[in-house]
Amino acid sequence: MIAVRGAIGLAATLLMVVPGAGAAMAQPVDRVATAVSCPATVAEVTPAQVASVFMLASRKLSAAARAEPGSYPFGALGGASDYQRTGPTGWTSGFFPGELWLMFERTKQARWLDQARAWTTPLLPMANYRGSHDLGFMVGIPTSLGLALEPGRATRAAYAGAQARAARTLARRWNGRVRAIKSADYGNRWGVIVDSAMNAPMLVEVGDRLQGSAGARLRSIGIAHMRTLARDFIRPDGSTYHRISYDPRTGRRLGPIPGQGYDPRTSTWARGQAWAIAGFAWAYERTGDPQFLDAATRTAQFWMDHVPAGCVPAWDLAIDNPRAPRDSSALAIVASGLLRLADAMDDRQPASQDLRAYARAALGTLASPAWTTASSANPGILRRQTLSVPADPREGTYVWGDYYLLDALTRAQLAGLPAGGA
């Protein structure tokens, strides 16, 4: 048996893995206070499951793409057969074209390239949009994938230019006293949210590409913002706050404010914890900064201490109610983040293999028929996601969970799934 420890040896053994087809995993020894849904047998994702999910995605995405590009899928409640949609200014607008780029990456089929281009193009002007701090989601995701996968030089140049403009636009929200990029005003309070961990690293990525003084400034802002998140948003036990307010004139931290979690001071919104894990993993990948490695592993450790391998948590990690809404999107984001972190680490470190094993177990559950829409008319892919439970507890499918599921499955396959899982 292979011991799977948490991240970087920060805790004792959490669970055990039996290698081979359908590697079964036992529950952690310690009792957890989070309501979770677990399969009867936890198993690592297999290549057959990956292929099945991408076949499902092909069907669902093809149907959704019949609409006019620019009307972006957002989500659909469990019993719905049609998407709610947004315009290009919606914070989720970049996820659907991101899914199309992932389909092209997998299949190399011209039809997916054509669709990815068509749905990315209306987002390029959003690089100058000052009404949202989520430009990393809206512009960064499709343009980053486009830069990696687009065969046309002129189109790649257009994507690079849009991403650079988006980074400069986002940098206009920088406050040097707070040392953070403003997310928004929340109840008339200058605020930052943990979700911003998924936007600030775009400034580092663009800064590295631009070089020179302009690039150095963007890079320094992105790094400083992530350091502020690491300092102020992570509690001593590795859990995270969702929203924190600051005095923009002095930079003084005023404290947590209500957000999407159960309690702004003491509980941990599941998707917020996932954003932190994935965001700090991305920041570490871009910079090699040990502070970001520490932040990624501490937040990952808290997650793994509360969510047994292969299980899907309630929408808040402090909720211990078996009837509470689940958020499968949070687990998909965590799987993507852990695989990114493992890729950024030295594979000779046992912890990198531990992170991969946890992520593959998560994907083994999420790729199963119980968690996908294979038997449903719902237009999305991943079932039982939540939007904002305090406002609406109903579950459904949403484009961010679908995107990160496909992203994580792609990362898992590129890293090489266990031979016994075929």
Q: For residues 146 and 156, is the Cβ–Cβ distance under 8 A?
A: yes
> Which uninterrupted H or E stretch holds 201?
helix 201-210
Q: For residues 127 and 162, is the Cβ–Cβ distance under 8 A?
A: yes
Residue 137 is given by DSSP the state I
Catalytic-residue membership of 232 = no
The CATH class, in words, for 2-421 is mainly alpha
Q: For residues 420 and 53, is the Cβ–Cβ distance under 8 A?
A: no
> Which uninterrupted H or E stretch holds 355?
helix 350-366
Q: For residues 274 and 333, is the Cβ–Cβ distance under 8 A?
A: yes
> Which uninterrupted H or E stretch holds 362?
helix 350-366
Any idea where the domains of the chain sit in the sequence? 2-421
What's the half-sphere exposure (Cβ side, CA atoms, 13 Å) at 114? 6
pLDDT at 28: 34
Residue with tokens 């984001």: 333
Given 82, 114, 134, 185, the catalytic residue: 134
Task: For strands 180-181 and 184-186, give the pairing.
Answer: unpaired
Q: Determine if residue 374 is left, alpha or beta; phi over 0 gives left, psi from -120 to 50 gives alpha, anything else beta.
A: alpha
66, 69, 77, 324, 396 from 379: Cα distances, Å:
12, 16, 10, 24, 10
Question: What distance in Å separates the CA atoms of residue 52 and residue 55, rounded to the nearest whole number?
Answer: 5
> Which uninterrupted H or E stretch holds 398?
strand 396-398
Q: For residues 153 and 161, is the Cβ–Cβ distance under 8 A?
A: no
Q: For residues 323 and 282, is the Cβ–Cβ distance under 8 A?
A: no
Catalytic-residue membership of 305 = no
pLDDT at 263: 95
Task: For strands 189-193 and 184-186, give the pairing.
Answer: antiparallel
Question: What distance in Å separates the CA atoms of residue 342 and residue 229, rounded to the nearest whole number?
Answer: 21
Nearest residue to 144 (alpha-carbon basis) of 330, 403, 359: 403
pLDDT at 418: 67
What is the chain's pLDDT, residue by residue, as a tens digit (422 residues)? 223 333 333 332 222 222 222 333 333 334 447 999 999 999 999 999 999 999 999 999 999 999 999 999 999 999 899 999 999 999 999 999 999 999 999 999 999 999 999 999 999 999 999 999 999 999 999 999 999 999 999 999 999 999 999 999 999 999 999 999 999 999 999 999 999 999 999 999 999 999 999 999 999 999 999 999 999 999 999 999 999 999 999 999 999 999 999 999 999 999 999 999 999 999 999 999 999 999 999 999 999 999 999 999 999 999 999 999 999 999 999 999 999 999 999 766 778 999 999 999 999 999 999 999 999 999 999 999 999 999 999 999 999 999 999 999 999 999 888 643 33
Question: What distance in Å separates the CA atoms of residue 200 and residue 273, rounded to the nearest whole number?
Answer: 16
> Which uninterrupted H or E stretch holds 190?
strand 189-193
Residue with tokens 């919606």: 90
Given 30, 114, 185, 195, the catalytic residue: 195
> Which uninterrupted H or E stretch holds 171?
helix 153-171
Question: Which amino acid does the sequence have at 316?
Answer: D
pLDDT at 348: 60
pLDDT at 291: 98
CB atoms within 10 A of CB 109: 12
Nearest residue to 136 (alpha-carbon basis) of 195, 182, 178, 190: 195
DSSP E strands in 222-305: the ranges are 243-246, 253-257
Question: What distance in Å separates the CA atoms of residue 123 and residue 132, rounded to the nearest whole number?
Answer: 13
Q: For residues 129 and 173, is the Cβ–Cβ distance under 8 A?
A: no
Q: For residues 91 and 137, is the Cβ–Cβ distance under 8 A?
A: yes
Q: Beta partners for 3? A: 16
